[in-house]
């Protein structure tokens, strides 16, 4: 996993960029699968990084046999749902495209406070890059086989893809658990509310590379924050 830190001084807050391995195939027509994958991952990250008082809420995936946990905070859940819907809409517009969702936690700090200017800068102390690749299934040609054969083969293929997706999501969730527990010294003091965060999803009006164009914004922001890090 490509993450590292530069500063050796333990007092310097380290910015972690954690990249999760790409997920396997998700049936594009299966809205539930896309929602389950995205929601399960995002809520799991937030659950590990929302250190204020939470009342956990178990959520059973509709498509996958996985139970993930939400923080039980209505505002956060609403925000995540909106982002997921936007992400799914983008995926449906751009099938077979690699996509990435970035979840960032930051602190806001006043920069060069003045009489008339009050700029704030964001200091990102943790970023999660979630890579997703939604592909279309290869449709079987309508051969002379009977309808039952095509249906049976499709069912078997769907079942195997379902199992593979479930296994992949399970693995990703365990990765999140590992990362969240291994590196926690950089986490700020426990606040009485949710940490400042932002969820970035691919946009249609990005630069040349519509999938990764927003990364330039992220890099620019990181460079301006004064805490360089490398992937």
Report in angstroms how near the CB of residue 136 gets to another protein at its nearest.
Answer: 23
Site for another protein (CB under 8 A): which residue of 86, 131, 135, 170? 170
Q: How many residues bind another protein (CB under 8 A)?
A: 35
Residues in the chain: 231
Which residues, 9 to 38, sit near another protein by CB under 8 A? none
Angle, to 10 degrees, between the axis of helix 74-93 and the axis of helix 31-49? 140
Contact range with another protein by CB under 8 A, out of 77-85, 109-117, 183-191, 206-214:
183-191
Burial of residue 81 (CB within 10 Å: 0-12, 13-18, 19+) is middle
Which residues, 34 to 63, sit near another protein by CB under 8 A? 44, 47-48, 51-58
Contact 222, 229 (CB under 8 A): yes
Dihedral (CA of 141, 146, 150, 156) sign:
negative
Q: Which is nearer to another protein, 192 or 205 (CB)?
A: 192
Which residues, 137 to 166, sit near another protein by CB under 8 A? 148-149, 151-152, 155
Q: Distances in Å between the alpha carbon of 46 and those of 43, 104, 119, 160, 167?
A: 5, 10, 27, 30, 21
- What are the residues binding another protein (CB under 8 A)? 44, 47-48, 51-58, 65-69, 72, 148-149, 151-152, 155, 170, 173-174, 177-178, 180-182, 184-185, 187, 189-190
């Amino acid at each position: 996993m490509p993450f590292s830190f530069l500063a050796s001084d333990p007092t310097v807050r380290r910015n972690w960029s954690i990249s999760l391995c790409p997920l396997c195939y998700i049936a594009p027509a299966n809205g539930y699968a896309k929602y389950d994958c995205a929601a399960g991952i995002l809520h799991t990250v937030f659950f590990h990084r929302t250190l204020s008082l939470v009342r956990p809420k178990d959520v059973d995936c509709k498509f996958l046999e996985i139970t993930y946990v939400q923080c039980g905070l209505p505002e956060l859940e609403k925000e995540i749902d909106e982002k997921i819907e936007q992400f799914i809409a983008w995926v449906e517009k751009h099938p077979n495209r690699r996509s990435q969702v970035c979840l960032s936690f930051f602190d806001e700090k006043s920069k060069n406070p003045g009489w008339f200017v009050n700029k704030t800068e964001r200091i990102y102390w943790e970023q999660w890059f979630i890579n997703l690749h939604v592909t279309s299934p290869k449709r079987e040609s309508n051969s002379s086989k009977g309808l039952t054969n095509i249906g049976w083969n499709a069912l078997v293929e769907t079942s195997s893809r379902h199992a593979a997706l479930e296994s992949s999501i399970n693995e990703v969730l365990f990765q999140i658990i590992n990362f969240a527990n291994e590196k926690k010294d950089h986490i700020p003091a426990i606040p009485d509310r949710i940490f400042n965060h932002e969820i970035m999803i691919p946009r249609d009006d990005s630069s040349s590379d519509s999938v990764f164009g927003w990364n330039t914004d992220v890099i620019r922001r990181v460079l301006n924050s004064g805490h360089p890090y490398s992937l």
